[in-house]
């Protein structure tokens, strides 16, 4: 009888070990799934907010006819830099800073994300080469904007002039508008 009792006890312990191993593997898979879901949720939140701010900057660019000073009026606490000494020109950039929750902040130190709009003025015929298919000659200037949304959380010593690493770009969009003949 004693031998039979030992054999049942051994079988029970082996079954218990297999059950514990199964539950620990299941727990490891569940933890990994929850971690992946959290990362995916953060990426989706970043992409959604980047899309919203890209649209905001594109609409400001279009609404102010590609003029940097006009766009700067809409974002008074943004970092503005003109490419020339004359602020009447449209060339330059505007940079907005955001924290982890995509709330606007006023400096780069507290920022986790960066949105920039860089505006350059070109001859319209160079900016709209495809329009020549319609036998239309464009005379004047066009404003071309480059909107970039960057994740700067993993960058050591970030600055607005840092070279853009493709790994940090959340969204990048080009916009343009025809200024006309009077823009010199």
The pLDDT score that the predictor gives to residue 164 is 64
What mean pLDDT value characterizes the chain? 83
Cα separations in angstroms, 23 against 16, 28, 53, 86? 11, 9, 45, 69
pTM: predicted TM-score of the whole model, two decimal places: 0.75
Residue 86 banded pLDDT, cuts 50, 70, 90: low
The pLDDT score that the predictor gives to residue 152 is 86
pLDDT in tens, 90-149: 788 999 999 989 999 988 888 889 999 999 888 877 666 666 666 667 778 888 899 999
SS3 helix, strand, coil % of the chain, rounded to 5?
45, 25, 30
The pLDDT score that the predictor gives to residue 10 is 85
CA distance 178 to 61: 11
The answer to whether 96 and 115 have CB atoms below 8 angstroms apart is yes
pLDDT in tens, 25-37: 999 999 999 999 9
Burial class (CB in 10 A: 0-12, 13-18, 19+), 157: exposed
The answer to whether 124 and 140 have CB atoms below 8 angstroms apart is yes
Q: Which residues contact 14 (CB under 8 A, 6 or more apart)?
A: none
Nearest to 113 by CA among 33, 51, 174, 69: 51
Domain parsing of the chain, residue ranges: 40-180
96 or 168: which leads in pLDDT:
96
- 141 phi-psi bin (left φ>0, alpha ψ -120 to 50, beta other): beta
Q: Is the pLDDT of residue 46 over 80?
A: yes
CA distance 60 to 72: 9
């Amino acid at each position: 009888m004693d031998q039979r009792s030992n054999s049942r006890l051994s079988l029970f312990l082996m079954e218990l070990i297999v059950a514990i191993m199964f539950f620990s593997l299941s727990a490891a898979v569940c933890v990994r799934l929850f971690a992946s879901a959290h990362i995916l949720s953060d990426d989706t939140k970043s992409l959604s907010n980047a899309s919203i701010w890209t649209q905001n900057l594109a609409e400001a660019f279009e609404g102010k006819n590609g003029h940097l000073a006009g766009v700067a009026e809409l974002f008074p606490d943004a970092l503005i830099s003109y490419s020339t000494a004359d602020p009447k020109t449209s060339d330059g950039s505007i940079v907005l800073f955001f924290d982890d929750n995509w709330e606007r902040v006023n400096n780069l130190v507290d920022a986790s994300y960066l949105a920039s709009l860089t505006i350059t003025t070109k001859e319209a015929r160079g900016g709209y080469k495809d329009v020549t298919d319609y036998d239309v000659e464009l005379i004047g200037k066009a404003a071309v904007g480059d909107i970039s949304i960057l994740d700067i959380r993993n960058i050591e010593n970030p600055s607005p002039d840092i070279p853009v690493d493709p790994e940090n770009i959340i969204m990048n969009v080009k916009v343009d508008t025809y200024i006309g003949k009077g823009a010199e």
